[in-house]
Amino acid sequence: MKNILTIAMPKGRIFEEALKLLKKAGYRLPPEFDDSRKLILDVPEEGLRFILAKPMDVATYVEHGVADVGIAGKDVLLEEERDVYELLDLKISYCYLAVAGLPNTKMNDVAPRIATKYPNVAEAYFREQGEQVEIIKLNGSIELAPLIGLSDRIVDIVSTGRTLKENGLVEYEQIADVTSRLIVNPVSYRMKDTLIDELVARLHEVVFSGGV
Ligand code: PRP
């Protein structure tokens, strides 16, 4: 589909802001976007097809070329190191990756345990600090781990800070800032450069004139 651009969109909390950005960039998207269970949404009048994916999977779809472009969190890109180009910082869904744990506690001296959804990021961070740690991979509700004695620390996303606060946890270190990025498949970028350049230019204008 040479004249259609397939965009992988992350379902969940980034979705709404990403949608606002596209609308502000002048794309007319049907109302079913706001409340639909469909996983593929075609908007032929704009030459777009949307794939609604789990945030962690967006870069996978783009790397394999089944989506030409995608909107992915920098957290996912740091964790997965996919073969995609990062074209634009959309400056939406700001949050950061941090080390957190119970207050006033020291990490175990021998191989402290770190629970996280981001094993590669966590491993690299502690290696740089010269710490040998045991990584425990979880898929969500990471904050549970130190509360029930599964880990000394967690590496996780902090957005408003509410989850940490309401669970009596504190932040120890900030690791990296996270915003959503527009990513592209390298082959698509060669084959559909005009379509992709137009999308980038339109989004760029919104982002640099104040965003959503
Ligand atoms: C993320 C993250 C934290 C929370 C942080 O989880 O893993 O748990 O949001 O947000 P806050 O600082 O605004 O409280 P998410 O809601 O994506 O679900 P998960 O626990 O399934 O990862």
CATH number of the domain that residue 159 is part of: 3.40.190.10
User: What's the pLDDT band for 112 if we cut at 50, 70, 90?
Assistant: very high
What pLDDT, in 10s, does the model give residues 65-102? 999 999 999 999 999 999 999 999 999 999 999 999 99
192 assigned to some structural domain: yes
- The whole-angstrom separation of Cα 22 and Cα 15 is 11
Ligand 1 center to residue 212 CA distance, Å?
A: 22
Look up the domain containing 152 and give its range.
Answer: 95-177
| CB-count burial class (<10 Å; 0-12, 13-18, 19+) for 157 | middle
From the alpha carbon of 156, which atom of ligand 1 is closest?
Answer: 7
Closest CA to 26 of 48, 50, 10, 41: 48
User: What's the pLDDT band for 59 if we cut at 50, 70, 90?
Assistant: very high
Q: Which residues line ligand 1 (CB under 6 A)?
A: 140-143, 156-163
pTM recorded for the entire structure: 0.93
**Domains contained in the chain, number:** 2
- The whole-angstrom separation of Cα 21 and Cα 185 is 21
Percent over 70 (pLDDT), the chain: 100
87 assigned to some structural domain: yes
197 assigned to some structural domain: yes
User: What's the pLDDT band for 144 if we cut at 50, 70, 90?
Assistant: very high
- The whole-angstrom separation of Cα 19 and Cα 146 is 35
